[in-house]
Amino acid sequence: MERSKVGTIAQLRKTGYRTRSIREELRQNLLQRLKEKEPVFKGIIGFDKTVLPDIERAILSKHNILLLGLRGQAKTKIARLLVELLDEYIPVIAGSELNDDPLLPISRFGKDLIGEMGDETPIEWLHRSDRYVEKLATPDVSVADLIGDVDPIKAATLKLPYADERVIHYGLVPRSHRSIFVINELPDLQARIQVSLFNILQEGDIQIRGFKLRLPLDIQFIFTANPEDYTNRGSIITPLKDRIESQVLTHYPLTLEEAQQITRQEAKVAPDQSDKIKVPDLAFRVLERIAFHARESELIDEKSGVSARLSITAFENLMSAAERRMLLSGEEETTVRMGDMWGVIPAITGKVELVYEGEQEGPYGVALQLIGEAVQAEFLTAFPDPEKILKENQVDLFEDIRNWFAEGNTVELFHDEDNQSYYKKLDSVPGLSALAKRLAKNGNEQRLAQEVILHGLSEFNVLSKSLVDSRITFSDMLSNMLDDLD
C-alpha cells in the first residue's frame, strides 16, 4: 500500500508494519549498506581506516557515541550524516509532540487518542530529516531546556491542576523520541545538567519536577567533545562518560593528499573564480603544508588544535587574492602566484591560538613564519639543502643564481603586477627556469616553481628577501648585510 494511502492505525497494520527501535533501525540499514558495498559516510575523507570503522562498529553494537577530537575534525559533519542511515519515513500519531509510534505510544496524548479512536487514530509520516536534533552545549543550558518543566500557562489555559502530567512542557530530549540527538561540546554542559542525562542513557526514561512519569524514550545519542585534558572550560563527569558506550577518537588529515581533497570539497569558490583562475597542485601543496606546520609549531597551542577550516578559508582567500589582482591588471584569466599567498594571512591569524612565545612574535609574524616553513618543506622535496651543498663541497645547483645576485642584481615583484611583467622578471634570473622543471610536476606549475625556488633560497639564507607593503624584493644576502652595516 502506498504511504499516501496509509492514514490510520488500521491501514498501517495492513501494511505489516512492525515497531523497531532507532538503534535497530540504524543497525539494519548499516548492515544493508555494508552488504551492498555502498558508501556510508559520503564526503568524509581520511577516516576510512581509522574513525569510520569505529563508528560503524558502535552502530552495529547499538551504542551511544562520543566523538572525541580537536576542533575542525568533522565531528559534527559525521553526526549529521548518520541521518542517512534512518528509514526515509516512519509513521507517528498525528499531532503528537513526542513522535509517538502508533503501535507503541509513550505520551499521555497518544495513549488517550488511541483510547478514544482506536484503529481509526490518524497517523502521519515523519521524514528522516526531521528526526535529527542538535544542541550546542553552553553554560546557560538548563534542565528545563533539555528535559522539560511544568508550564503554568498551559495549566491555566487547560484549567488543569499541577498534578496533571498534561501541564508538562517537554524539553528537547523527549521531543527527540525516535530521533538522533546530538550534543556538541559536551564538556561545556554544567555538571548538574550532565547528571540529568544519567537515567536517559541507562534506563531510557526521565523525571520532570517530581512527576511519577516513565517515558521509555528511544533516542540515539551522539556527543562531541574536545579531549578533557585539553580544555579549561569543563569536563565530562565520570558517571556520564561511563554510560556512553563507545568513544571514538578523531584526527586531522594524515597526508597532504587527503588535506587537499578536504579543502577542494569544502571550500566555497565562486564558479567564475574556478573558470578564470588556475591553481597548480604546487600551490595546493604549499597551502596545506601551512596547516601541517602550524600543528607542529612551538608558537601555537597544540592543545587548542589547528582546524581544517584554516586550509579551507586560506584557499578561499588565495582565490580571491588572485581574482582581485586579475581585475586590477585587466587580465581575463590568471594562475595563482606566490604573491597571492600573502592574501591568506588573515585566514591564518584567525585560526590559531598562540602560546607566550607566539604572542611575542605577533600573529602576523607567526603567519609569515608558517608560510616560510611550508615553502621550505616543499623546496626540499626536489632540491638538497643549499647550505649543506657548500659545506660538503657538492655540485652547487644554485651557483648561477648565487652569482647573478652577487653581481648586484635584484628581483622586485609586486603582488598586483600583471603577469607579463611579473614573469619577465623571473625569467631574467639565469638558471631559474631550468631548476623550476625539477620542482614542477607539470608545465602549469613551472612559473609558480620559479617563485617557490626564490622563496626557498631566502628561507635557507642564500638570498635576502624583504617585504614592504605589497612588494617582495630578492637580493644578495651578503650585499644586503653590508648595506645594513653601512
**pTM of the predicted model as reported, rounded to 2 decimal places:** 0.87
Cα–Cα dist 244/189, whole Å:
15
Residue that the C-alpha cell 657548500 belongs to? 390
**Hey, where are the domains in the chain?**
3-249, 256-485
As a three-state string, the secondary structure of the chain is CCHHHCCEHHHHHHCCCCCCCHHHHHHHHHHHHHHCCCCCCCCCCCCCCCHHHHHHHHHHCCCCEEEECCCCCCHHHHHHHHHHHCCCEEEEECCCCCCCECCECCCHHHHHHHHHHHHHCEEEEEEHHHCEEEEECCCCCCHHHHCEEECHHHHHHHCCCCCCHHHEEECHHHHCCCEEEEEECHHHCCHHHHHCCHHHHHCCCCCCCCCCCCCCCCEEEEEEECCHHHCCCCCCCHHHHHHCCEEEECCCCCCHHHHHHHHHHHCCCCHHHHHHEECCHHHHHHHHHHHHHHHHCCCECCCCCCCCHHHHHHHHHHHHHHHHHHHHCCCCCEECCHHHHHHHHHHHHCCCCECHHHHHHCHHHHHHHHHHHHHHHHHCCCCCCHHHHHHCCCCCCCHHHHHHHHCCCCEEEECCCCHHHHHHHHHCCCCHHHHHHHHCCCHHHHHHHHHHHHHHHHHCCCEEEEEECCEEEEEEHHHHHHHHHC
Residue 160 neighbours by CB under 8 Å, 6+ apart: 154, 166, 167
Q: 144: burial class by Cβ within 10 Å (0-12, 13-18, 19+)? A: middle
Among 27, 53, 84, smallest CA distance to 249 is for 53
Residuewise pLDDT in 10s, the chain (486 residues): 567 778 999 999 999 899 999 999 999 999 999 999 999 999 999 999 999 999 999 999 999 999 999 989 999 999 999 999 999 999 999 999 899 999 999 988 899 999 999 999 999 999 999 999 999 988 888 888 888 777 777 766 767 665 666 777 788 998 999 999 999 999 888 888 888 888 788 776 676 766 666 788 899 999 999 885 544 556 888 888 899 999 999 999 999 999 999 999 999 999 999 999 999 999 999 999 999 999 999 999 988 889 999 999 999 999 999 999 999 999 999 999 999 999 999 999 988 999 999 999 999 999 999 999 999 999 999 999 888 877 777 778 899 999 999 999 999 999 999 999 999 999 999 999 999 999 988 878 999 999 999 999 999 999 999 988 889 999 988 765 555 545
Q: What is the pLDDT of residue 338?
A: 94
Q: What is the pLDDT of residue 192?
A: 84
Residue 272 near residue 327, CB atoms below 8 Å: no
- Does the domain at 3-249 match CATH 3.40.50.300? Answer given as yes
Q: What is the pLDDT of residue 168?
A: 77
Among 136, 64, 134, 124, smallest CA distance to 97 is for 124
Residue 76 near residue 224, CB atoms below 8 Å: yes
Q: What is the pLDDT of residue 442?
A: 80
Q: What is the pLDDT of residue 485?
A: 47
Determine the Cα angle at 286 with ends 283 and 287, to 5°. Answer: 85
Half-sphere exposure (Cβ direction) of 414: Cα atoms closer than 13 Å: 10
Residue 22 near residue 86, CB atoms below 8 Å: yes
Residue 453 near residue 432, CB atoms below 8 Å: yes
Residue 359 near residue 333, CB atoms below 8 Å: no
